Amino acid sequence: MPDRKEQILDVAEELLQTRSFSAFSYQDVSDRIGISKATIHHHYPSKDDLSLALVTRYRTSLISTLEKITQEYTTPWKQLEAYTLLVSQVMQSGHKICLTGSLQSEYEIIANETKQELANLCAFVHTWLTRLLADGKKQQMMTFPGPPEDQASLIQAALQGALQQARAHGPKQFTTVVRQIKAMLKTS
């Protein structure tokens, strides 16, 4: 237990993505780690603090991951491939949905600061996808109607929705959507 705060976030994140924000409790977290509720409160006094820390860490981590993808894979297609793989891993690790979708579903009850951080997170992903699509179009490797930012919105929404649909209809539903997104972008 090198960093208890990180350990708490790990467990809370898992619970948020499987059960939703209002459906998990400090008790749930403390049970799984094997420490008392009070200790969690010591590190994150209120649930608003906890949720903000969750989104902030997630955003930082995602920024780093996406930048790594950008550097490692040179073509837009391989970058898209890496991104959809990333999202599919969320689903495969136990029926989770994306943190973004989970919190947006309870948007009206989360703290204002968390809302802001969530918006920043979504905006970053959107920008990253937009850049990817713009590159793909410029290099004539991808086709889509309209501006890249609009197509990015579509893909972002579809992946988020597909993760949720996968809960009711299994992982096949998700891979179908991914396949369809790719087919759609293919220059025919």
Q: Is 6 in the site for DNA (CB under 7 A)?
A: no
Range in contact with a second copy (rule: CB under 8 A) among 56-64, 79-87, 129-137, 145-153: 145-153
Q: Which of 101, 124, 131, 134 binds a second copy (CB under 8 A)?
A: 101
Q: Which of 19, 32, 37, 182 binds DNA (CB under 7 A)?
A: 37
Rounded to the nearest 10 degrees, the angle between the axes of helix 26-33 and helix 4-19 is: 120
Closest approach, Cβ 118 to a second copy, in A, equals 6
18 binds, among a second copy, DNA, none (CB under 5 to 8 A by kind): a second copy
Of 42 and 186, CB closest to DNA: 42
65 binds, among a second copy, DNA, none (CB under 5 to 8 A by kind): none
Of 111 and 141, CB closest to DNA: 111
Binding site for DNA (CB under 7 A): 1, 4, 24-28, 30, 34-39, 41-43, 45-48
